[in-house]
Structures are given as structure tokens and as C-alpha cells.
Amino acid sequence: MKISKRNVFRLCWFSLITVFFIWQWMAYQSRDLPEDTFKNDTRVSIEKSSDKITFIANSPKSKNEILFFQGGMTDPKAYAPLCRQIANNGYTCHLIKMNWRMPQWNYKKIAAIFELENGNYIIGGHSQGAKMASQFVYENPDLMKGLFLIGTSHPRDFDLSKRTIPTLKIYGELDGLASVSEVLENKDKLPKNSSLTVIKGGNHSQFGYLGKLLTDENAKIDLAEQQERTLKELIRFFNKIGIENEMDR
């Protein structure tokens, strides 16, 4: 039986497409998580539900709690090590699971899960999760105590420059999905009291425990170092918000 050139081309094309999507799917899976990521100990307790993974800070414990939005298409567990380390530093951290791994479809769910009006929450996330965290702040003024954006060029489609919410943007020097030029291009749309921090040698993928994502550049630092630097900047930011809240009382 003869196979036409057209059918051979179609077979090769669909095979390449299939391999590409499988590779992409694997890149967005969590990997190499530290063994203690989901283990309870004296400092951190873990609670899991269909909507979130909560890393509860046992001691010390801040009144402010963290809402962390996963990146688009990524396995939320890729951010569990960072969330655990946040809890190790005294901040209960809620890692929000998005339906179909799409924050843009599911970011408003936190309004039904938490009593946001009566709480002390700092919101943020990575990549598309950061975008939707900023979107939530835009749509719900004065509801959050702070905003942190990791590995994103947003806010891009709306303007937060008239807001006064404490804001931190962390970006990678070698981020191939949210480049330095894109980050700086939208700097004027951030709240006026925002601070920006670049992770030298860091890329997009290593903000989570992920494979190397398509179009991302090669990092010049390893995963552990990028995670440690990111954590350091986040804790400094959270602590500053706590001090400012105490001064306002």
C-alpha cells in the first residue's frame, strides 16, 4: 500500500505538534520539590482543599496572610516550596488552585473563600497569576494590604498609578516571557509607592519549581539561589507592611 507525500507530511506535522504539546505540558509540571515541602512540623502546618493549599505559620505568626496566585498553565505545586518558606518566616500563605490552571478564569474565587473585608491579606503571584492579582486589586480598591508581582510585565491593560497600596515587583534579568524592557515599559502604571527589584541572572521558569518554559532564557544562577533571593525580597516587603500597619494604629 502506497502512502502519498501529502499523508506523509500530515503524519510528520501532527507528530511534531503532539511532541511539542507533550513537551510543553511537561515543562509546566512541578518537579524536584524539596522532600519537606508538604510535611507538618513545629513551625508550619499544611491544609489542602480543592481550592487551595494553605501553609499555616505556627510560630512566629503575623496578622497578615498571603494569597498566592499560580502562573498560567503551571502546576500550582511548583510554588509550594516558596509558599512554605514564606510560612517559615511567620506568614500563613494560601496557594490558590485555579480551575484548568487558568488564573484569568478563576481569580475572583478568593472573594468566596475568604472574608476579605475583615482580614489582613497581601495578594500576589507569578506571571499570569501576578497579572490577575493586580487585576483583582484594580477591581477591589482598598481591600488588600499589599500587592506583589513576580515575573510579569503587568499591569499593562489598566492603570494603578493613582493607588497607594504597597507594591513590590520582582523580575528576572533573563526572563524570556516578561523581559526587563517590558517590565520597565509599564512601570508608570504601578502604584506610586511601588518598588522594583531585579533578580540578577534569574529567568522566568525558576520563580517556580518548573521545567524551562518556551521562549525563556537560560538562567545564570541556579534554582535554589533564585528562590532564596525572591524569598528574601518578599519577606522584607511583608515585614515593611507589618511595621507600617502597626504605626498607623
Mind listing the pLDDT tens digit for each residue in 149-184? Answer: 999 999 999 999 999 999 999 999 999 999 999 999
Q: Is residue 10 part of a domain?
A: no
For residue 133, give the nearest of 99, 100, 167 by alpha carbon. 167
- pLDDT at position 12: 54
Residue 12 backbone phi and psi in degrees, to 5: -65, -40
pLDDT exceeds 90 at position 14: no
Q: Is residue 22 part of a domain?
A: no
pTM for this one?
A: 0.91
- pLDDT at position 13: 52
Q: Is residue 150 part of a domain?
A: yes
The total number of structural domains that make up the chain: 1
- Return the bridge partners of 169, or none: 149, 196
Pairing of the two strands 93-96 and 121-126: unpaired
- pLDDT at position 125: 98
Asked if residue 228 lies in contact with residue 219, where contact means CB atoms within 8 angstroms, the answer is no
pLDDT range class, residue 18, cuts 50, 70, 90: very low
Q: Tell me the three cell numbers of residue 193.
A: 509607592
Q: Is residue 6 part of a domain?
A: no
Q: Is residue 95 part of a domain?
A: yes
Q: Is residue 19 part of a domain?
A: no
pLDDT exceeds 50 at position 24: no
CATH number at residue 203: 3.40.50.1820
Pairing of the two strands 52-57 and 44-48: antiparallel
Q: Tell me the three cell numbers of residue 35.
A: 522532600
**Three-state SS at 47:** strand
pLDDT exceeds 70 at position 9: no
Asked if residue 210 lies in contact with residue 30, where contact means CB atoms within 8 angstroms, the answer is yes
Asked if residue 183 lies in contact with residue 171, where contact means CB atoms within 8 angstroms, the answer is yes
pLDDT above 70 covers a percentage of the chain that reads 87
Q: Is residue 45 part of a domain?
A: yes
Cα gap 188→29, rounded to integer Å: 34
pLDDT exceeds 50 at position 138: yes
- Rounded average pLDDT over 60-86: 95
DSSP string for residues in 50-67: SSEEEEEE-SS--S-EEE
- Rounded average pLDDT over 193-202: 97
Q: Is residue 81 part of a domain?
A: yes
Q: Is the dihedral of CA 40, 240, 169, 65 positive or negative?
A: positive
Q: Which domain holds residue 79?
A: 31-248
- pLDDT at position 3: 57
